Amino acid sequence: MGSLDSDFARLVSHLDYSLFIVTTANRGERAGCLIGFASQVSIHPPRFLACLSVKNRTYRLAEHTDTLVVHPVPEEAEELALLFGGETGDEVDKFARCQWRQGPHGAPVLTELENWFAGRVLDRIDFGDHVGFLLEPSAVSAKESQEPFTFRRGRWIDPGHEP
Ligand SMILES: Cc1cc2nc3c(=O)[nH]c(=O)nc-3n(C[C@H](O)[C@H](O)[C@H](O)COP(=O)(O)O)c2cc1C
């Protein structure tokens, strides 16, 4: 890695931002992972970008689905963050280890988390080792405001798939 690349990696390691759990389903299979590369990207119309690593099982399912469910992770949900960020669905059934129900277009909604939205996939954008899914909200559950579980708090979690 050149020094510009390593300087950039050092700079972004100092940033902090909210983490989300993204879930999806296709043909009876379910997937979900913890993500940090995500943001609202437009107000009118409302748009959100969720980026998935091409190595993740969640990405492989999301390639063939038209709906993702995005759950902001609240600060007390460390166990869910560890399950969805530290394990891969290639090896364990994450949905056997948490409470969920079928949500919009069959995508799993994590019932422990009160805030989530379902997003219709409008576009997929290749950024390199991550693909951005441009989402239009199609269903929303917005309850209490919560403190987020942030990237800097989740940094100790060893990703289930290498980034
Ligand atoms: C703090 C943190 C942030 C992460 N951010 C992303 C991300 O933005 N996009 C992504 O695809 N994976 C991200 N991951 C990695 C996945 O959550 C992890 O590799 C997961 O085990 C993949 O599960 P899957 O193979 O079942 O999809 C992150 C992990 C951690 C610990």
Cα–Cα dist 40/57, whole Å: 24
Per DSSP, what are the bridge partners of residue 70? 22, 117
Cα–Cα dist 98/87, whole Å: 13
Judge if the beta carbon of residue 85 lies within 6 A of ligand 1. yes
Going from the Cα of 92 to the center of ligand 1, the distance in angstroms, rounded, reads 15
Collapse the DSSP code of 24 into the 3-class scheme (helix H, G, I; strand E, B; otherwise coil) and give the result.
strand
Going from the Cα of 58 to the center of ligand 1, the distance in angstroms, rounded, reads 9
Please, where are the H alpha helices in the chain?
3-13, 57-62, 78-86, 151-154
> What pTM did the predictor assign?
0.97
Cα–Cα dist 14/27, whole Å: 40
Cα–Cα dist 120/135, whole Å: 5
Going from the Cα of 24 to the center of ligand 1, the distance in angstroms, rounded, reads 14
Going from the Cα of 52 to the center of ligand 1, the distance in angstroms, rounded, reads 8
Q: Which domains, from first to last, does the chain contain?
A: 19-154 (2.30.110.10)
Q: Which helix (H) or strand (E) holds 163?
A: none
pLDDT at position 24, please? Answer: 98
pLDDT at position 2, please? Answer: 73
Judge if the beta carbon of residue 70 lies within 6 A of ligand 1. no
User: Tens place of pLDDT for every residue, the chain, 163 residues?
Assistant: 579 999 999 999 999 999 999 999 999 999 999 999 999 999 999 999 999 999 999 999 999 999 999 999 999 999 999 999 999 999 999 999 999 999 999 999 999 999 999 999 999 999 999 999 999 999 999 998 899 999 999 999 999 987 7
What is the atom index within ligand 1 of the atom nearest the CA of 158?
31
pLDDT at position 1, please? Answer: 58
